Amino acid sequence: MLLHLERPDHAYFLRGADGASALVNDRRLTASFVLSPDTLVEDWAARDAATLSPADLEPLFALQPEVILLGSGGRQVFPPAATLAACLSRGIGLETMTNAAAARTFNVLAGEGRRVVAGFVLEG
């Protein structure tokens, strides 16, 4: 079997994530962050997906996504209805999943050239 090293054509690639940390390119992050294929916003104020407010999503909205992936930590936790409504009212899809699943999904969507933005809530 012949293997090839695939280099994404965007600036940021998630190598993995769990509830406590994430590996973006070659940097380990331990605080919540926002990521698009070309932008990394460190130290996102979000600490708990269950209490996420629409205002907490402003850094994600600023990146003009067509879809937002919410990595809610080590387990799937849904944000309040008002937060979901804030996305829907802007015509933006919001998918909530564990950080590990959000990392995999982000890489697929970014590789397809989609306008994806992910917010990762890290517990630590």
pLDDT of 63-105, one tens digit each?
Answer: 999 999 999 999 999 999 999 999 999 999 999 999 999 999 9
For residue 5, is it within any domain? no
Percent of the chain with pLDDT over 90: 90
For residue 13, is it within any domain? no
For residue 28, is it within any domain? yes
Domain containing 112 equals: 22-120
CB contact at 8 A, 82 and 35:
no
For residue 15, is it within any domain? no
For residue 8, is it within any domain? no
For residue 73, is it within any domain? yes
Chain mean pLDDT for the chain: 93
- How many domains does the structure of the chain reveal? 1
For residue 9, is it within any domain? no
Using a cut of 0.75, tell me whether the model's pTM lies above it.
yes
What CATH number does the domain containing 71 carry?
3.40.1230.10
For residue 101, is it within any domain? yes
